[in-house]
Each structure stands twice: as structure tokens, then as C-alpha cells.
Amino acid sequence: MSENSARLDRLLHPEVLAAFDRDVYERDGYWVWDGILTDEGRARWSESLQRVQSLNDAIVANSDWGRVQFAAHGLAAPDADKIAPEALAGYRGGSEQMRFQPPGLRDFMYQHGLFDPALVTDGCEWQGMMPEYFPLAYDEFILDVTANHPQMMDLLGKVLGPEFLIDHVLTLNRPGGSTGRRWHGHPYRQGQHETEDPATGGQSPSTQFLQHQCVRTLCYPEGMGKTDGGGELAVVPGAHLYRTPYMWDKRRTDYDEDFAAGWMRDKDHPATAEPLQIETLDLSPGSMVSFVHHMPHHVGHRDEGAPTRWGLLMAYRTRDPEQAPSKWNEGTPAHWADRTDAHGLMTQQMRRIFEGDQPLTSA
Ligand SMILES: O=C(O)CCC(=O)C(=O)O
Ligand SMILES: [Fe+2]
């Protein structure tokens, strides 16, 4: 990126960044960055999320999906009724709405890029994948804050340590009526290092913070809470120490009562010995929250008619020393990274985040 039109130097309040307490974060598994965005940071962040949403909406609604050559790429075509114009119009306005996508399409776009003349991408340069799933490729401000900005790299370094790779970054814009996500956790990478059963796990809690770590940081420029339309994010302090990627590869059905009476029942916080408790978050505008990948979490139903809640999910992970070195890591669409590199737009900082799991350079 040219130096650097998208950069907002005063993005974060330095005193909020400095107040991070690593011990509390390791003990409870999450950290709230309360009101960390400056007013200008909030405005830019909201504007970019809205911009990416409208690019995504336009591609969904204006493309002639019936003419896309899915079979040529080994993909099934979408059902005809799901790509009728009225159906397509209904997928706009928020994330996780594109219910017409055939199996494998999202992965194909990520890994190879889908370039097809039937896709109508007025207003932006198509990058082979939907803006929702890799907004960095469509918005210079989002690219800067997720891969370059010194204050953001400082924040991510506090929760991950000095060396981290991108896992995934996507928009989580939740429109009114969105049903959220039932109780679940996430594995590190594809689950190859997990030791606990996803449904019943939690047999050997430890107070040791995991080395194979993936941390999600969510930014809500307009806030996130009960009074702004609901659908809050809830976590369970201490539950990350059970290391259960709860239901990550299974159908998730638990609301709070089911989870409290099920997996959570009779479990204590391994560091404080208090019974585990659900904590439903309420975040002021311009806040972020970071939480580790094993922490079970829940997103409630957003009220019908509520305004869209703007959110960006930024997940990064520590390097996996057992992974053979590769050019780009699996969270990076290689076709995009190669193009970016060929155009001379890959900064050293970006390279550190997108490259494969090379051996650690710092102890
Ligand atoms: O929808 C949200 O705002 C947060 C959801 C989330 O981070 C998750 O389920 O991993
Ligand atoms: Fe999640």
C-alpha cells in the first residue's frame, strides 16, 4: 500500500491500550477494550464496514448467478429458486445472509478465486472472493487496521505474543432479526492439536495458557448490547482453560439454559475455583473484545426491525511449529497475496501476518 492514504494515526486511545493486564486476560480468557477507538477511528471503522457491506450487497444482487460456470470448477450450481432476483435482494444488508451459496463455493473463492464474467462487480475491483469473507482486499482502511497499523499490531501482540499470523478476518454485520450463533467454541487451525471431545470435553482443565492459541478480536464501532437491539455476545470467564472447542464441528443448538445445564454444569473456574458463569457483554461504542479460541461463546437473536450492528471479526493465531513452512498461511487467500505482492503492495508487516508457519524468529 502506498504510504499511506488509508492510515489514521490516532486510531486508538493509548491509555486504553496501555491498561491491558496480561494476568487477568490469561486467567479469564478475554479482555474488553472499552471505548478504545477515537471518535475519528469509530467514524472510519463504521464507514468501512458499511462500504464493504454495500459492495457485497451489489455483487450478490446484480450478478447473474445462473450463468456462472460452477461446473467448470467442480462446484454444484445453486438452486434456481435461491438465485431468483427477489431471493437475491433478500440476502442484502448484513453478514451471513448469502443462503444461495452451493457447498464449497466459499472455500473455492478463498483458495483459488472465482473469476467469471457473469459476476457483476460495479464499483469495485473484484478480488475473486466475496467482500464479506475477506474485507481486507476491498477496503484500504480495513487492510491497514488488520495488517499494518502500529497501534493495532501492538494490541494484537498483547493478546497473542510478538509473532502471529492471520487466521480469518470477516465482517459480522448483524441485521435486525439475525439469529446469532448458539453456544460454541473454535479449534486451533483444523483441530489437529485438540485433546478434548467437542461435545463432552473439559476433563482436564489447567491453569496453563495454551501455546497453540487463536484469539478473536471483535470491533464494534457503534457498540454492542441489550439496549441497541440485542443479540449480545456472551462468554464464560475461565472456560477457555478447559480447552474444549465446544461443538465446533457439530450442530449447535444450546441457548444459555441448555449450556448452563449441560457442558457448564458443575464446572468451576480453574483459577478462582468459583462456579463458571455466563457473562453477557455490553460494550460501549468504539469498543473491542478479545477472547481466546477455546472460550465457549454465544450470540443471541437480534430484535426484528433493529438497526444493523456493525462488527468486524479479526482472528489471529500463534505459529504452529509443527507445520512445514509454506509461502502463505491457510488464512490468507494465496491468489490475492500473490497479486498484492506482484503489484509491490505487500509491506514487511503484512508479510509477517500472511506468510506460512516459518520457525519462530524470536524466543
Ligand atoms: O456476531 C458477533 O458479533 C460475534 C460472533 C463471534 O465472534 C463468533 O461466533 O465467533
Ligand atoms: Fe464463534
Is residue 158 within 8 A of residue 233, CB to CB? The reply is no
Establish whether residue 295 lines the binding site of ligand 1, counting it when its CB lies within 6 angstroms of any ligand atom. Answer: no
Is residue 222 within 8 A of residue 309, CB to CB? The reply is yes
H/E stretch holding 337 = helix 334-342
Strand partners, 233: 299
Determine the straight-line distance between the first and last CA of the chain, rounded to whole angstroms.
30
C-alpha 21 to ligand 2 mean position (Å): 23
Residue closest to 25 by CA, chosen among 238, 220, 312? 238
Establish whether residue 170 lines the binding site of ligand 1, counting it when its CB lies within 6 angstroms of any ligand atom. Answer: no
Measured CA to CA, the distance from residue 345 to residue 200 in angstroms comes to 46
C-alpha 147 to ligand 1 mean position (Å): 20
Q: Which residue puts its alpha carbon closest to atom 9 of ligand 1? A: 181
H/E stretch holding 182 = strand 181-184
Establish whether residue 289 lines the binding site of ligand 1, counting it when its CB lies within 6 angstroms of any ligand atom. Answer: no
Residue closest to 349 by CA, chosen among 131, 152, 190? 152
Mean pLDDT, consecutive 10-residue segments, the chain of 363 residues? 76 98 98 98 98 98 97 96 97 96 97 96 93 98 98 98 96 97 97 93 88 96 96 98 96 98 97 97 98 96 97 97 91 98 97 88 52
Q: Which residue puts its alpha carbon closest to atom 5 of ligand 1? A: 299
Other beta carbons within 10 angstroms of residue 241's beta carbon come to 27
**Which long-range contacts (C-beta less than 8 Å, at least 24 apart) are formed by 327-330?**
327/355, 327/356, 328/354, 328/355, 328/356, 329/165, 329/166, 329/354, 329/355, 329/356, 329/357, 330/189
Establish whether residue 352 lines the binding site of ligand 1, counting it when its CB lies within 6 angstroms of any ligand atom. Answer: no
C-alpha 233 to ligand 1 mean position (Å): 7
C-alpha 186 to ligand 2 mean position (Å): 6
H/E stretch holding 335 = helix 334-342
pTM for this one? 0.96
Alpha carbon separation from 103 to 76, 90, 163, 248, 325 (Å, rounded): 7, 20, 34, 18, 29
Is residue 270 within 8 A of residue 207, CB to CB? The reply is yes
| Mutation choice for ligand 1 from 181, 246, 247, CB with most ligand atoms inside 8 A | 181
Establish whether residue 88 lines the binding site of ligand 1, counting it when its CB lies within 6 angstroms of any ligand atom. Answer: no
H/E stretch holding 292 = strand 287-292
Measured CA to CA, the distance from residue 253 to residue 233 in angstroms comes to 16
Residue closest to 301 by CA, chosen among 184, 175, 183, 178? 178
- Domains along the sequence of the chain with CATH: 14-40+135-339 (2.60.120.620)
Q: Ligand nearest 186 Cα, by number?
A: 2
Establish whether residue 181 lines the binding site of ligand 1, counting it when its CB lies within 6 angstroms of any ligand atom. Answer: yes
Phi-psi region of 178 (alpha: psi -120 to 50; beta: other; left: phi over 0): beta
Is residue 130 within 8 A of residue 56, CB to CB? The reply is yes
pLDDT of the residue at 1: 42
pLDDT of the residue at 359: 67
Establish whether residue 216 lines the binding site of ligand 1, counting it when its CB lies within 6 angstroms of any ligand atom. Answer: yes
pLDDT of the residue at 363: 44
| Mutation choice for ligand 1 from 290, 299, 302, CB with most ligand atoms inside 8 A | 299
* Number of the ligand 1 atom closest to the C-alpha atom of 297: 9
Establish whether residue 252 lines the binding site of ligand 1, counting it when its CB lies within 6 angstroms of any ligand atom. Answer: no
* Number of the ligand 1 atom closest to the C-alpha atom of 174: 1
Establish whether residue 234 lines the binding site of ligand 1, counting it when its CB lies within 6 angstroms of any ligand atom. Answer: no
Calculate the CA dihedral of residues 311, 139, 86, 299 and round it to 10 degrees: -10
pLDDT of the residue at 6: 87
C-alpha 322 to ligand 2 mean position (Å): 25
Measured CA to CA, the distance from residue 346 to residue 314 in angstroms comes to 19
pLDDT of the residue at 2: 43
Angle, CA 150 vertex, CA 34 and CA 220 arms, to 5°: 30
Q: Ligand nearest 234 Cα, by number?
A: 1
Establish whether residue 333 lines the binding site of ligand 1, counting it when its CB lies within 6 angstroms of any ligand atom. Answer: no
3-state secondary structure of 163: coil
C-alpha 303 to ligand 2 mean position (Å): 20
